[in-house]
């Protein structure tokens, strides 16, 4: 038996051992009707450990929604700005700001978003942050810009988790990072496989499966206290955890009562196990609907794996996917309107999305596994194999914007996109 080592986190910031190699983000494709935004360097931002304006530019560019224009000069939010000149340069909006070191060592970060067309102010923020939170503050500003200009909440300040594997060292790490792949921290590691991480709705915990006991067991890692809880270690296999929207329960796949996986619901502390599916077929990969009233899952009851749904109270299951003979890994968008899943067609695995109201399907990416929606529902992260390694990729739900997150060391897979942080 090998021990899975867990690392302690502080109450306000992940403090685990940083992974040695950060992710590299590559962008391909852009959205339609990009919004032109000029981003000026912030006045006196050299006092910060990282250039805030550069992080904002990178966030906006990565989204594919904006065409970022360099303002070519530092501009403070207090400056008298000729907005007509920026409009003439093609910018519909302008981002300006400043950074000031306070007496207590913190940094006062101020920013404004200006409308060059209407020559008015759209938003402003002013925060005092520690030096180590400079990057997070930049992400928050980018989130504000995204929301004010699109009407959709930004996801730049959210976090992701994934599994990093070093085949040579037989080492598996459960890693938490910023949505852009920076700030990697190790939440758990060991010499046996780790799979299926899933964020709690409040962003303080990650459920995952470890094989450290020579069988799949479900754990919940508290990212604030460092405490780890065994949620499911029943006879047989325990796998595929998924949180209910209120964070009080997990849907899981267990073989405790049969030879085949069945769907169960269990309280977040491991108590109150309740079986949902009762067929002789395989029923696994459960996912709660956005309202918590329905469970989507994979079953081979029709002869091959397809996606079904049923009430959280049990009862008759309804088939959801019909195109293709192999459909797995259901994921529901945060608004409950879209189903993403993996389908094997024409000899390969592809990421598909379906409008649940109309049943219309769209093929988003080939060579994909393990999808996960962003908390605003506009992007899907997935695992893919490229150049002999597994890496992570992101595609917008309309298929226009694509990103690839790769590392020079080892394989990364099993992504899960965290929730909005309050």
- Average pLDDT (241-249) is 98
For the stretch 189-241, pLDDT in tens is 999 999 999 999 999 999 999 999 999 999 999 999 999 999 999 999 999 99
Please give the pLDDT value at position 78: 95
For the stretch 384-400, pLDDT in tens is 987 778 899 999 999 99
- Average pLDDT (137-141) is 98
Three-state SS annotation for the chain: CCCCEECCCCCCCCCCCCCCCCCEEEEECCCCCCEEEEEEECECHHHCCCCHHHHHHHHHHHHCCEEEEEEEEECCCCCCCCHHHHHHCCCCEEEEEEEEECCCCCEEEEEEEEECCCCEEEEEEEEEECHHHHHHHHHHHHHHHHHHHHCCCCCCCCEEEEEEEECCCCEEEEEEEECCCCCCEEEEEECCCEEEEEECCCCCEEEEEECCCCCCEEEEEECCCCCEEEEECCCCCEEEEEECCCCCEEEEEECCCCCCCEEEEEECCCCCCEECCCCCCCEEEEEECCCCCEEEEEECCCCCCEEEEEECCCCCCEECCCCCCCEEEEEECCCCCEEEEEEEECCEEEEEEEECCCCCEEEEEECEEEEEECCCCCEEEEEEEECCEEEEEEEECCCCCEEEEECCCCEEEEEEECCCCC
Please give the pLDDT value at position 140: 98
Please give the pLDDT value at position 404: 86
Please give the pLDDT value at position 332: 98
For the stretch 16-30, pLDDT in tens is 444 444 666 666 666
Please give the pLDDT value at position 19: 44
| pLDDT tops 50 at residue 115 | yes
- Average pLDDT (134-154) is 97
| pLDDT tops 60 at residue 5 | no
pLDDT band at 14 (very low <50, low <70, confident <90, very high): very low
For the stretch 370-384, pLDDT in tens is 999 999 999 999 999
Domains of the chain (ranges; CATH) run 31-150 (3.40.50.10070), 158-417 (2.120.10.30)
For residues 122 and 32, the model is more confident at: 122
- Average pLDDT (230-257) is 97
Question: pLDDT exceeding 90 applies to what percent of the chain?
Answer: 83
pLDDT band at 170 (very low <50, low <70, confident <90, very high): confident
Please give the pLDDT value at position 388: 78
> Is the pTM higher than 0.75?
yes
For residues 144 and 12, the model is more confident at: 144
For the stretch 309-357, pLDDT in tens is 999 999 999 999 999 999 999 999 999 999 999 999 988 999 999 999 9
The overall average pLDDT reported for the chain is 91
């Amino acid at each position: 038996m090998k021990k899975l080592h867990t690392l302690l986190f502080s109450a306000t910031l992940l403090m685990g051992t940083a992974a040695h190699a950060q992710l590299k983000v590559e962008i391909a494709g852009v959205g339609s009707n990009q919004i032109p935004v000029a981003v000026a360097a912030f006045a006196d931002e050299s006092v910060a450990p990282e250039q805030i304006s550069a992080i904002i530019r990178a966030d906006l560019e990565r989204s594919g929604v904006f065409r970022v224009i360099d303002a070519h000069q530092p501009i403070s939010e207090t400056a008298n700005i000729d907005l007509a000149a920026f409009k003439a340069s093609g910018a519909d909006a302008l981002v300006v700001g400043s950074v000031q070191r306070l007496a207590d060592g913190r940094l006062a970060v101020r920013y404004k978003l200006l409308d060059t067309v209407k020559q008015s102010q759209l938003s402003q923020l002013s925060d005092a942050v520690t030096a180590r939170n400079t990057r997070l503050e930049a992400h928050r500003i980018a989130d504000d810009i995204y929301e004010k200009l699109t009407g959709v909440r930004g996801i730049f300040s959210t976090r992701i988790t994934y599994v990093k594997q070093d085949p040579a060292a037989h080492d598996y790490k459960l890693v938490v990072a910023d949505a852009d792949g920076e700030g990697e921290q190790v939440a758990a590691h060991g010499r046996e496989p780790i799979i299926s991480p899933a964020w709690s709705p409040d962003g303080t915990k990650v459920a995952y499966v470890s094989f450290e006991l020579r069988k799949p067991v479900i754990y919940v890692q508290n990212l604030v206290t460092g405490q780890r809880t065994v949620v499911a270690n029943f006879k047989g296999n325990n796998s595929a955890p998924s949180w209910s929207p209120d964070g009080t329960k997990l849907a899981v796949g267990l073989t405790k009562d049969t030879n085949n996986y069945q769907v169960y619901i269990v309280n977040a502390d491991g108590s109150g196990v309740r079986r949902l599916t009762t067929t002789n077929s395989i029923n696994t990969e459960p996912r709660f609907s956005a309202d918590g009233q329905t469970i989507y899952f994979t079953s081979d009851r029709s002869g091959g794996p397809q996606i079904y749904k049923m009430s959280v109270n049990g009862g008759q299951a309804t088939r959801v996917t019909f195109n293709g003979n192999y459909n797995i890994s259901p994921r529901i968008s945060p608004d409950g309107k879209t189903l993403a899943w993996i389908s094997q067609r024409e000899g390969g695995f592809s990421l598909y999305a379906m409008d649940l109201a109309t049943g219309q399907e769209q093929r988003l990416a080939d060579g994909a596994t393990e999808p996960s929606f962003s908390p605003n529902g506009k992007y899907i992260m997935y695992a893919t194999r490229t150049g002999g390694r597994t890496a992570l990729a992101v595609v917008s739900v309309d298929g226009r914007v694509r990103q690839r997150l790769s590392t020079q060391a080892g394989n990364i897979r099993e992504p899960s996109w965290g929730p909005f942080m309050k």
